[in-house]
């Protein structure tokens, strides 16, 4: 604990900032804010899709990120945001139709807590017997596929739900063009802060086009004026039902595959291997999920959106996530700050999300490339190609009341195909050849 909050200071100008390094605090604060913006859209969207209170979810995502930082001893740069893996099973358990508050949220919370406990147990098992079994279960072909699927699976969100008209679509184009231009043609802190600076620039363009020239819905600043500076969100206690727990608990497999994929991606882009931190990462994520669901928040997971930010900025300092976690807590406790973020036009957030989700998908491919995955081997072709289409196309399986959505079916497919197809490979190797 004594060295937990110690980082080697690295002045801006270096190509890469490692997890145990940090930029000067002024820059770290700004880049931490950038990570808050990166996680915000999805972290708020997930509870809305499940009928949870977004303020509670944002508050607990910040708290969970700090818990994760402590449990992993500050070694793993990651933000914990609300998990989309629980959306399908929450709807199945509560009968939620996607509009307004979820009146049976307590049943979902109980199931999420049980899932979190199983997650913790998986982490303890890794700590006790090592991560090699995880490695065998999730080799690079699997983790790269799962990471790529996460980005592709989420792609429909900005395309289908974050542009209500033609103007919004063009505003998304302007936004991701801003990101591309800043990423390629700027340097120094502007490039480091490319997502935040792009967000500000795109919002300013939107303001000029709408508030001044009336081309579309103007930004409404009245929400900021009306919102209080401080206010506690509404907490909800969990209830435990055997049926709900049985339906939600298997999500732990998706969370493990997702977490491994994220850690592999972080290790790949930062050149800091994360395998030895698997156990603590599972435990930290599980504890954060249990705490979040205990007061009415969603299950949480390591966030691919923030991995996309790290990939773009090449700053992997864990100090950023301490800052981001604290800012998220303030956001959850301050309706005014929440109103400020909510004034960001949906189409601008959509353009930013297109970039971030694209970076996630490419991070998966990067795992394949850097681990020399052989795609001339039909096993690897099948393990990658089938889940990619399942996840992108939202292939959904139903088992009675249990629903396995696109991301879940893709993750399971990658895991099972790897086991089945490589079992055949092992049999080919070990079976002696008959003499002719």
Digit-coded pLDDT (tens) for 394-435: 888 877 666 677 777 888 888 899 999 987 665 555 544 443
User: Could you tell me if residue 227 is inside a domain?
Assistant: no
**DSSP bridge pairs for 381:** none
In a domain, 229, yes or no: no
Query: Domain tally for the chain?
Result: 1
**pTM, 2 dp:** 0.71
Query: Which of the residue ranges 131-135, 147-151, 282-286 has the most confident prediction, judged by mean pLDDT?
Result: 282-286
Residues 203-208 have a mean pLDDT of: 93
In a domain, 2, yes or no: no
The mean-pLDDT minimum among 276-290, 338-352, 359-373, 422-436 falls in 422-436
Domain annotation covers residue 1: no
pLDDT confidence of residue 435? 39
Average of per-residue pLDDT across 352-371: 81
Q: 403: domain range?
A: 17-220+235-423
Residue bearing the bigger pLDDT, 245 or 285: 285
What backbone phi and psi angles, to 5 degrees, belong to 75?
A: -100, -20
Structural domain contains residue 431: no
Least confident interval from 66-70, 143-147, 227-231, 334-338? 334-338
3-state secondary structure string, 310-364?
A: HHHHCECCCHHHHHHHHHHHHHHHCHHHHHHHHCCCHHHHHHHHHHHHHHHHHHH
* pLDDT tens digit sequence for 48-106: 768 888 888 999 999 999 999 999 998 889 999 988 778 767 877 887 765 567 888 88
Q: Is residue 105 part of a domain?
A: yes
H or E element at residue 404: strand 402-404
Q: Is residue 7 part of a domain?
A: no
Q: What is the pLDDT of residue 383?
A: 93
Least confident of 28-32, 57-61, 140-144, 318-322: 140-144
Kindly indicate the confidence band of residue 14, based on its pLDDT and cuts at 50, 70 and 90: low
In a domain, 76, yes or no: yes
Q: Report the alpha-carbon distance of residue 256 to residue 135 in Å, rounded.
A: 12
Concatenated DSSP letters for 121-179? HHHHHHHHH-SHHHHHHS-HHHHHHHHHHHHHHTTHHHHHHS--SHHHHHHHHHHHHHH
The pLDDT value recorded for residue 434 is: 43
pLDDT tens, residue by residue, 172-200: 999 999 989 988 888 766 776 677 788 88
Kindly report the backbone phi and psi dihedral angles of residue 349, in degrees, each rounded to the nearest multiple of 5, phi listed first: -60, -35
């Amino acid at each position: 604990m004594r060295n937990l909050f110690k980082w080697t200071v690295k002045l801006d100008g270096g190509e890469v900032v490692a997890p145990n390094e940090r930029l000067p605090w002024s820059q770290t604060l700004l880049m931490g804010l950038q990570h808050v913006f990166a996680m915000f859209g999805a972290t708020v969207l997930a509870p809305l899709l499940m009928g949870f209170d977004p303020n509670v979810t944002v508050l607990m995502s910040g708290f969970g990120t700090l818990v994760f930082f402590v449990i992993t001893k500050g070694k793993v740069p990651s933000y914990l945001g609300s998990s989309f893996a629980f959306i399908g099973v929450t709807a199945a358990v509560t009968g939620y139709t996607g509009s307004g508050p979820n009146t049976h949220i307590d049943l979902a919370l109980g199931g999420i807590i049980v899932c979190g406990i199983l997650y913790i147990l998986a982490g303890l098992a890794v700590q006790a017997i090592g991560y090699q079994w995880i490695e065998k279960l999730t080799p690079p072909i699997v983790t790269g596929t799962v990471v790529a699927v996460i980005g592709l699976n989420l792609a429909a969100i900005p395309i289908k739900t974050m542009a209500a008209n033609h103007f919004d679509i063009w505003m998304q184009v302007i936004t991701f063009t801003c990101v591309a231009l800043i990423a390629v043609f700027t340097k120094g802190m502007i490039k480091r802060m490319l997502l935040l600076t792009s967000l500000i620039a795109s919002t300013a363009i939107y303001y000029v086009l709408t508030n001044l020239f009336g081309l579309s819905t103007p930004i409404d600043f009245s929400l900021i004026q009306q919102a209080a500076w401080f206010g506690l969100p509404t907490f909800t206690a969990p209830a435990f039902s055997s049926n709900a727990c049985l339906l939600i608990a298997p999500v732990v497999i998706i969370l493990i595959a997702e977490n491994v994929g994220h850690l592999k991606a972080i290790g790949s882009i930062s050149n800091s291997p994360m395998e030895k931190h698997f156990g603590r990462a599972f435990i930290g994520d599980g504890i954060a999920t249990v705490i979040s669901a205990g007061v009415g928040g969603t299950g949480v997971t390591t966030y691919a959106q923030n991995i996309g930010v790290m990939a773009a900025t090449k700053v992997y300092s864990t100090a950023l996530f301490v800052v981001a976690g604290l800012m998220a807590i303030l956001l959850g406790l301050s309706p005014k700050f929440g109103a400020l973020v909510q004034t960001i036009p949906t189409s601008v957030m959509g353009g930013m999300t297109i970039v971030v989700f694209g970076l996630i998908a490419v991070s998966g491919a990067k795992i394949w490339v850097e681990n020399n995955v052989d795609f001339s081997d039909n096993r690897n072709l099948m393990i990658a190609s089938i889940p990619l289409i399942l996840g992108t196309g939202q292939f959904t399986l139903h088992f009675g009341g249990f629903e396995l959505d696109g991301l879940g079916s893709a993750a399971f497919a990658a895991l099972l195909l790897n086991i089945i197809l490589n079992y055949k490979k092992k049999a080919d190797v070990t079976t002696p050849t008959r003499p002719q």
